[in-house]
Each structure stands twice: as structure tokens, then as C-alpha cells.
Structure 1
Amino acid sequence: MSSTIGLSTYSFFWQWHETAPQPITLEQMVDKTAALGVTLLQICDYPLIESYTAAKLSELKAYGAAKGVSFELGTRGVTPEHLARYLEIAQALDVTLVRSMFYSATSRPTPAEAEQFLRTAVQAYEASGVTIALETYEQVPVQTLVDLVTAVDSPNLGICLDPANCLAALELPAETVRRTAPLVKNMHIKDFSFSRKDGWVGFTLASVPLGEGLLDYHGMVAAVRPEERGINQIVEHWLTWQGDSATTCALEDRWTASVVETLRSYAK
């Protein structure tokens, strides 16, 4: 087993956002991924993928293969119908991991309801060799997520670890890592820091390049052991708007290249 460095569509968020004069396509994201020598792209919270026909999915898979880039998927929600649709997309793209989140825009299940949904959905995922990884984030306590995954008890259900997300619920990153480490199936690599807002009234929590913020990356890796367990590390950003699209997108690209270089230096 080994850990692969991957990029997320969140690495290109402002480039495919509606604020971009010409939002880039998934194929262009594949091109940018390959240009950095990265072989994995997580298509995460990118709703357009749900409208792709079988033919278009086949074309995307072929395009990625030609560039040496494979895919993971990311969505929100745990209803069986929604997860079944993403399993279809996963099979079409030869994807083996789908990241999801407890809630979606249209569904907010109780923990008991979510457990029942996942018990139903995960059976088909097990049969297809695809894993669901539920992300840590502020809307669901970490222990609730851990208890849910433990209760379902499937080798194809685990956690996508992003400790920065839980800060908004006053859950410290080190504690999030400690509680989830045995169940982690995917990692989102996003360093972060707090800065004073204008006038010194309040704070902004946002990304910084890896190694410049509060993320204890080495402690997280020691706990999760991604190389030993074959857990991929997906680069994401919380890059704040820089005043205009061109400036923001250019900084986004510089950050992505920097994080990839830093991750590679850590692996040596």
C-alpha cells in the first residue's frame, strides 16, 4: 500500500466558480493536475458531474487515463438514493472512494436515520469495491460521526479527515485526529490560520500554504499512517477572495503547486 497525493476541485475552486470570466472544465482541471505530476483528482462538491451522461463519463475517464490521472468523487448526503447515483458515477469512472457528508441541502437525518441509510447503501458499495468516507465538519460532532461509522461496521465505510473543519464547533484538531485516526479512509490536506479582521473586530479562519499555519501535519500523519494504510492525501484550500478573479486564481495555482511540493518534500 501507499499514499497518493491528489488534488481536489477545491484546489481550483475560484477557477470553476461563477466569478471566473471563463470557468474551467473538469478536463482543464485534469490538465493542471497532470502538469504538476499529480495522478489523482477528487471531483468534490462539483454538482455538474451528476448531469453527465454515460457517454460523457466515459469520455472523462478516457481523458484522465490519457493524462495519467485517476479520480475520486465527493458529494454531500447519505440517503440511499443519492449514494446509489454516486456509485453509478464511481463505477463509470473506475472510482474506488466517494467522500460524503452527513447533511445535504435537502436532507438532515438524525444519527439513527443516517445509520439506517448507510446500512442500506453500503451493501452495494461493498459489492462494488467502493468506499464511502464521511468527512469531519462542524455540523456534526466528531464523536457522533465516529459512533455512526463504528455502528455500521463496514470495511467500505470510514472517515475523511479534515481537522480544520471542526474548529467552528470548538473541537480541537488534535482531538479530532485522535478520535478518528483508526477509521480514516481519506485525508484532506488544508493548513489554516486565524487572522484579525479589519478593525481588530473578530477573526477570519482561512487557508495558508502547508507548513505555514496551525495544522500539525506530521502529528496527523503519525496517527493516521497513510502510507502504511494506503490512504490518499487530497489537497484543498480555503483561499479568500483577493479582489478580482485573475489575482485570486493565480494565487490558487501558486498555493497548489506549493502544497504539492511541500508534501513531496515531507515524503522524502
Structure 2
Amino acid sequence: MIGLGTYAFFWQHSDRVDEPLSLIGALQATRDQDVGLFQICDYAPLLVMSAAEIADAAAAARDLGLVIELGTKGVDPGHLEAFLRLADTFGAALVRSMLYAPESRPSLEQAERMLRTALPAYEASGVTLALETYEQVATDDLAGLVERIDSEHLGICLDPGNVVARLETPRAAVERCAPLTKNVHAKDFAFARQDGWVGFTYSGAPMGTGLHDYPHLLSAVRPDERGINQIVEHWLPWQGDPETTVTTEREWTRITLEYLRSTI
């Protein structure tokens, strides 16, 4: 299934626009684009919303007919337990996370112990935990950790663009993680020369125009065949003013949805 995530609304959610989009507003905008899946990922207000506000958001998602996934950072068992409760409220079958959180950087051995503590509750609830590929942890280390734990409810959230900052190639990350993948973050990326030709900027690009060999990912991962959701995200730099930035963000979403739909 193709879905949108909060990173597809990054600037629309931000305080750099006059009227930041609410979570329920993003849910409605997702349904307005004929998309039936939304991933609430690294959405800071979720952690401070009241129980009533969370219940309202979950009810809005149900009323709109949206499937919900959740996303956070860290593998502390208490934190993962809190997100499992949120998953129950939203009816979410997947929680994306990362090994590190702002206040926690466990070793691989510590992370393994934490995950082994947290996973039985996920397994009992039928919720999958997907750990994202990113530059702070070598892809081979992350994949090896998932393989050692060997649970049907633990896998990889594949985001090949992140690993470039570790001087890994997206293609290698895709091939290493394909059998373990439970979720995909779909975005394109490219390098652009800095002014004066002094270095490069690495950031997002409209889907299909950058360096991401997405057909290779589709061939290796087979998301449609395996029931793996593809979540639209963007790395869109600020475009100089709120109106231009929001317009561009929405246009990138339209382009990405058209691209992904054309592959089904």
C-alpha cells in the first residue's frame, strides 16, 4: 500500500508557516489525495497530546478510513511500550523506530537486550517494529542485529537515502536489507553543486528525477507482492518563503504519488 507520512507535510506542520497543519488536517489531506495510509512519524506533538486529543485523532483516522502506522526514535523498552499502547489506540500494525534517541545511544549489545525485552509484547499484539536504516549505524550492523533476534515482528524500515552520509551506497543498503524489510520510506535525493563550486548539497529531489534507483528497490524488495507499505517522504529545502515552500511540498507529493502508482 502507498501511504503518506508526516515528513511529506514537514513544512506544512512547521511553525514557519502562518497556520501550521494539525495532525487531523494531515489525515484529511491524505484522504483528499485518495491515499488510505498515513504514518505518524517523529511527530513531536504526539508525545504531549492529551489522551482526549489522541483519541480524537484516532477517531478521525477511522472516520476517514485511514490505516495508521507510527514512528518514533529509540529502543528503550519503556518507550517502545508507550508506543505499543499508542498503536493499540490507532489500530496500527507497525511502529518504525531507530536504535538511537536524542537521549540514548546504546551499543549494539545494549540495543539487542532492549529489543529482546520489548519484543514479546509486540509479538503478542501482532505489531511489527521496523528499525530504519540511517547514517548513525552501519547498515550491516543493523541488519545483523535484526537477523540475530530473528523475530517475525522485527525488521527494517528501508530508507536508502539516509546511508549516503555514512559513505554507503543506496543500492548496497537495498540489497543487504531487502529480505528483512517491513516498511519503505519513498523519496528521491540528489547532489547539487554549492555556489562557487565549493562542495555539494545533498538533499531531496522530485521522485524520479534524482539518484535513487527506485526500480531496483522495487525489484529487490517486491513490496506489492510481500505486503510492504511505501511511505512518501521528502527532503525538501526551504524555498525562500512559506507559500512557495508549501506549494512545492504539495507538488512533490503529487509527483511521488503518481510515480509510485505507475509502478503497481
Q: TM-score range by the shorter chain?
A: over 0.9
Task: Select which of 227, 238, 241 maps to 1:241.
Answer: 238
Residues of 1 paired with 2:43 and 2:35: CA distance?
20
Any residues of structure 2 matched to 1:2-151 within 5 Å, and which? 4-151=1-148
* CA apart distance, 1:199: 1.3
TM-score by length of 1: 0.97
Residues of 2 paired with 1:20 and 1:251: CA distance?
14
* CA apart distance, 1:193: 0.7
Q: In the alignment, residue 156 of structure 1 is paired with which amino acid?
A: H
Q: In the alignment, residue 234 of structure 1 is paired with which amino acid?
A: I
2:200 aligned residue: 203
Residues of 1 paired with 2:255 and 2:188: CA distance?
12
Any residues of structure 2 matched to 1:243-258 within 5 Å, and which? 243-258=240-255
- More deviation, 19-28/46-55: 46-55
1:147-181 Cα offsets, whole Å, 9 max, x none, are: 11011111100000010000000000110011101
Task: Select which of 161, 166, 173 maps to 1:164.
Answer: 161
Aligned-residue Cα RMSD (Å) equals 0.9
1:216 aligned residue: 213
Q: In the alignment, residue 242 of structure 2 is paired with which amino acid?
A: S
Can you give the 5+ residue segments of structure 1 that lack an aligned partner in the other structure? none
2:184 aligned residue: 187
2:263 aligned residue: 266
Can you give the 5+ residue segments of structure 2 that lack an aligned partner in the other structure? none
Q: In the alignment, residue 238 of structure 2 is paired with which amino acid?
A: W
Q: In the alignment, residue 243 of structure 1 is paired with which amino acid?
A: G
* CA apart distance, 1:97: 0.3
Contact 1:8 1:234 in 2 (8 A): yes
Structure 1 SS opposite 2:231: strand
* CA apart distance, 1:120: 0.4
Structure 2 SS opposite 1:29: helix
Bigger RCO of structures 1 and 2 (CA < 8 A, at least 6 apart): 1
Contact 1:54 1:92 in 2 (8 A): no
* CA apart distance, 1:209: 1.3
Structure 2 SS opposite 1:137: coil
Residues of 1 paired with 2:195 and 2:99: CA distance?
34
Structure 2 SS opposite 1:117: helix
* CA apart distance, 1:188: 0.3
Structure 1 SS opposite 2:263: helix
Structure 2 SS opposite 1:241: coil
Q: In the alignment, residue 209 of structure 1 is paired with which amino acid?
A: P
Residues of 1 paired with 2:50 and 2:147: CA distance?
35
Identity %: 52
Q: In the alignment, residue 218 of structure 2 is paired with which amino acid?
A: V
TM-score by length of 2: 0.98
* CA apart distance, 1:55: 2.9
* CA apart distance, 1:52: 2.9
